[in-house]
Amino acid sequence: MYKMPQSSLGVALIGTGFMGKCHAMAWNNIATVFGGARPRLEVLCDVSDEAARTHANQFGFSRASSDWQAAVTDRAVDVVSITTPNGLHREMAEAALKAGKHVWLEKPMALTLSDAKAMSDLASECRGQATMLGYNYLRNPAFQSACRMVRDGDIGKLLSFRGVYDEDYSADPSLPWSWRMTHEAGGLGALGDLGCHLVSHMLALMGPVQELTAMTQIAVPHRPSPQGVKAVENEDSALALLRFVSGAQGSFATSRVARGRKCRLQWEVHGTEGTLVFDQENMNELWVHKAGEAGFTRHLSGPEQPDFAAFCPAPGHNFGFNEQKTIEARDLCSAIAGGKAVGPDFAQGYEIERIIHAMAGSNGMPVTIGQDNDR
């Protein structure tokens, strides 16, 4: 299914926060887990030379820089990892593509739908250059097992999808205002940060969306900052009803103010012959019910599921967040080497963006997906 490059890829990493560290670990681990040529960690970029040097040493990069423009045009660099704040995604990704590089970009793809469309169009013009968006929850072996069961018809014809992605990182109203709460720097709120992950799962399981109706809420309209109280511009939560092209129906909910929830990426898929249930907070369990059974059976993650055995030969020994990221890096490298493109690439990422932006703009009115919903 996949290939690994036989010649070493030169890597530039822009950004050293949570996701920057995840990318660095993936680049460091990929050859150990999957074989192939070990990537050359060429240059790491941070906002200052001092920070870049510190993290380059920690992450294993040979050079450090505060000049990202130089990094994306560096002749030793083949692929650029971008893990910066949302407002920088388009500029950096487009610069890397124009410089002939492959691009691994964290979600959300861009601030606006028109930005995402422009990025997708440019990527389609760059023949031979691979793009990948950071939807690592798609790589969970339990999730991949669920997708395989759906494809194989194990639960019959799909009838409905019920999905939730809740966290509570913004639930405290005394938490300070940040750039993430603005359209200019953050784009969408809970939809762009959390809901897009749920959409990626939903599309992989159910196929394309035909129409939806949604509403959003700003639960904490104002937050304190050193400059005084500031307004929150993007949504804290969103709810939607959907109809898929297949005729199946769906419900969707996401919130960044759900007290007690940490990573509740949870969904159920109902079919004519069974039901699948998954929750990322218990990411090593897939619950399966089939017609004629009294209840659900717990399927623990193990080497019979996709990619698990590459990390561990023993069932029930648990998979983790960063293992998913390493598989994502493998899939990007495979696409670069001419293997099957798994995605989401920029074209598929644009389809995710179309849905979350349609939800943001619905205001309780039906939206047909396929129309131009640019705002």
What averages of pLDDT result for each successive group of 10 residues across the chain (375 residues)?
81 97 98 95 97 97 98 98 97 98 97 98 96 97 98 98 98 96 96 98 98 98 96 98 98 98 97 98 97 96 96 95 97 94 95 98 93 46
pLDDT at 375: 38
* pTM for this prediction: 0.96
> Is 141:286 a contact under the CB 8 Å cutoff?
no
Backbone angles phi and psi of 177, in degrees to 5: -60, 150
| Spatial distance between the Cα atoms of 347 and 124, rounded to a whole number of angstroms | 8
**Interval 1-47: pLDDT, tens:** 677 777 899 999 999 999 999 999 999 999 999 999 999 999 999 99
Six-digit token string for 53: 């040097």
Residues 6 or more apart whose Cβ sits within 8 Å of residue 162: 250, 251, 267, 268, 270
The sign of the dihedral angle between the CA atoms of 85, 92, 115, 209 is negative
How many Cβ atoms are within 10 Å of 199's Cβ, its own excluded? 26
